[in-house]
Amino acid sequence: MTEDTQKDDATGSDQAQTSDQTATEVTDDFVTRQHTHNPSGLKYTTTTGRLVFRRESVDKDGKAEGFKPKAEIFVVAYTADDAEPGSRPVTFAFNGGPGSSSVWLHMGLLGPRLVDSGDVNELTPPPYGIVDSPETLLEHSDLVLIDPVNTGYSRVVEGGKEDEFHAFIEDRDLVAEVIRLWVTRNGRWLSPKYIAGESYGTLRAVAVAGRLFDAYGMAVNGLGLISTVLNMATLRFFDGSDQPYALHIPTYAAIAHYHGRHPGRELTDVVAEAEEFAARDFGYALTQGSRLTDGEYDDVVGRLAAITTLDEGFIRRTNLRWNYFEFAAELLREANLVVGRIDGRFTAQPANQQDSQNMDDPSLRAINAPYAAAINHYVRMELGYENDLPYEILTGRVQPWSYKTFEGAPVDVSKVLERLMVHNPSMRVHVDYGYQDGATPHFAAEYVFAHMNLSPQARERFTHHYHEAGHMMYLKPEARLAQLAALKDFVTA
């Protein structure tokens, strides 16, 4: 809870900067508050507001024009009051999308205040609520939550170009610069430093760590990769690429198991069978195409039906290849239900039972409102930061997102991670997987890690954690506590 003794940061005002300022007037607008985490008794300070991102500019003749403001980046920092800052770890965290704010990791997993959203089949009704988190990573590490441009309250300055930062490289460089500035201004160059990302945020985390190392000589102690994607070619379904179809099979099996379609069997057994089939017989069958004999084709169809519990007719009509949105519409069609993509445990009645694909994710629909209510209340009423802009939780404003850096090649940062593991031989990697995560399937992430050129010693610096939950596995209380226990060990090792 927030204490009554509150004061504003000397660098800003208690009224947040509004968007009608001209670019030349833009300044940081941080507000500080003092709090106590009731379960642990930890006293801590929050610093909330928008940090001005500036870029060095030159004129057409190459003459320096100084550092010009380009964007205002919303940051919430948590620092323990009675700790020695120089030795205390600090964890920088963000979500993905692209287009997601950091609210999910902020108020779902890492922070001291937790969204009261409930979980599948036990959702909290509106107006929802916020509770003290029984455990928080803040007990072991300071936290800095970052919202990239056009997420949260982050925006370009007046007269700026929004799409300038809607790109892989520009986003990477901006987030890295925000981290460098925070570390420098707060005297934390000698603190242990960690970066945690979720979903696209895992790809961003690796890229940012590489940028910090290359551009500023800043080595991080570890990366927390939650619901991982490092090579998008493993996830994207398109003609001519069979790899994603095989890598999703274990996730289909896990979701089918959750919905009672593998009665009497343990989830781990179902998943292990699916993984072996996907990697061996199914992978081979996909490479053969029309060269499969009728008998071989029939055998593959039968085994796919048994593992995924999908109808054999559907499997034949798709010629063994269907995307996740088709699976979401098909799995429980007879019950007039579709399953979620972010979290395959969630279901809803479809708008049209005849639709061949389900693009309306019931898991996101279920959790968006409680997280929106929580962050909008929390920032203003407990953190003391006021801004009339809408807090963009998960926005399409960043689309189209540019991957021009990878033109003609897969969007892949696995080589960056390989290089970091070699050049920073103390860096460790924590990985969280959700078995019912249809957005970043665990088998796809495992495939990427298995194909990285790492020494046995480097592989020992990875820890892998599996949860019977979805993309945001911390929605499930047991998974959240397991994540926090592992992250505690990770940042204090």
How confident is the model over 420-461, as pLDDT tens digits?
999 999 999 999 999 999 999 999 999 999 999 999 999 999
User: pLDDT of 257-296, one tens digit each?
Assistant: 999 999 999 999 999 999 999 999 999 999 999 999 999 9
Query: CA-CA distance, 309 to 257, in Å (whole number)?
Result: 9
Is residue 57 assigned to a domain? yes
DSSP string, 75-97: EEEEEESSS-TTTS-EEEEE--T
Q: What pLDDT sits at residue 59?
A: 65
Together in a domain, 34 and 123: yes
Together in a domain, 339 and 391: no
Which candidate, 344, 256, 357, places its Cα nearest to that of 306?
256
Q: What pLDDT sits at residue 10?
A: 37
Which candidate, 212, 217, 219, 247, places its Cα nearest to that of 233?
247
Bond before 370 cis per omega within 30 degrees: no
Burial class (CB in 10 A: 0-12, 13-18, 19+), 267: middle
Phi, psi (5° rounding) for residue 479?
-70, -40
Residue owning tokens 């996909």:
286
Q: Which domain CATH number covers 436?
A: 3.40.50.1820
Q: What's the structural domain count of the chain?
A: 2
Is residue 4 pLDDT above 70, yes or no? no
Which helix (H) or strand (E) segment holds residue 427: the answer is: none
State CA 328 to chain mean position distance: 21
* Enclosing domain of residue 317: 236-363
Kindly give the pairing relationship between strand 113-115 and strand 130-132. antiparallel
Together in a domain, 68 and 216: yes
Together in a domain, 76 and 219: yes
Query: CA-CA distance, 95 to 207, in Å (whole number)?
Result: 14
State CA 366 to chain mean position distance: 18
Are 391 and 152 in contact by the 8 Å Cβ rule? The answer is: yes
Is residue 378 assigned to a domain? no
Helix axes 294-308 and 249-258, enclosed angle (nearest 10): 40
Is residue 411 assigned to a domain? yes
Together in a domain, 242 and 212: no
Is residue 375 assigned to a domain? no
Are 80 and 44 in contact by the 8 Å Cβ rule? The answer is: yes
| Higher-scoring residue by pLDDT: 15, 129 | 129
Together in a domain, 395 and 427: yes
Burial of 155-191, coded b for 16+ CB within 10 Å and e otherwise, reads: bbbeebeebebbbbebbbbbbbbbbbbbbeebebeeb
Together in a domain, 120 and 195: yes
User: How far are the Cα atoms of 22, 165, 178, 205, 476 from residue 72, in angstroms, in the given order?
Assistant: 12, 12, 10, 20, 34
Q: What pLDDT sits at residue 24?
A: 53
Which helix (H) or strand (E) segment holds residue 200: the answer is: helix 200-216
Q: ∠ at Cα 123 (475, 48), nearest 5°?
A: 55
User: pLDDT of 63-120, one tens digit each?
Assistant: 766 778 899 999 999 999 988 877 899 999 999 999 999 999 999 999 999 999 999 9
Query: CA-CA distance, 43 to 95, in Å (whole number)?
Result: 26
Q: What percent of the chain has pLDDT over 90?
A: 86
Are 184 and 212 in contact by the 8 Å Cβ rule? The answer is: no
Together in a domain, 286 and 346: yes
Query: CA-CA distance, 328 to 321, in Å (whole number)?
Result: 14
Together in a domain, 248 and 229: no
Q: What pLDDT sits at residue 79?
A: 96
Together in a domain, 340 and 424: no
Query: CA-CA distance, 194 to 89, in Å (whole number)?
Result: 7
- Joined tokens for residue 8: 């504003």
User: pLDDT of 412-431, one tens digit each?
Assistant: 999 999 999 999 999 999 99
Together in a domain, 191 and 339: no
Q: ∠ at Cα 50 (20, 371), nearest 5°?
A: 105
Q: What pLDDT sits at residue 161?
A: 85
Q: ∠ at Cα 180 (177, 182), nearest 5°?
A: 110
Give the DSSP letter of residue 478: H
As a whole number of angstroms, the longest Cα–Cα distance in the chain is 76
pLDDT mean over 351-370? 92
Is residue 371 assigned to a domain? no
Is residue 162 assigned to a domain? yes
Phi, psi (5° rounding) for residue 45?
-115, 135
Helix axes 200-216 and 168-185, enclosed angle (nearest 10): 60
Is residue 7 assigned to a domain? yes
Q: What pLDDT sits at residue 271?
A: 98
Together in a domain, 214 and 200: yes
Query: CA-CA distance, 252 to 257, in Å (whole number)?
Result: 9
Phi, psi (5° rounding) for residue 452?
-80, 145
Query: CA-CA distance, 267 to 254, in Å (whole number)?
Result: 7
User: How far are the Cα atoms of 15, 102, 153, 391 from residue 388, in angstroms, in the given order?
Assistant: 10, 19, 9, 9
Which candidate, 244, 472, 300, places its Cα nearest to that of 252?
244
Is residue 280 assigned to a domain? yes
Are 181 and 174 in contact by the 8 Å Cβ rule? The answer is: no
Query: CA-CA distance, 335 to 16, in Å (whole number)?
Result: 50
Is residue 21 pLDDT above 50, yes or no? no
Give the contacts of 22 (CB within 8 A, at least 6 positions apart). Answer: 158, 159
Query: What's the pTM value of the predicted model, to 2 decimals?
Result: 0.92
Q: What percent of the chain has pLDDT over 70?
A: 94
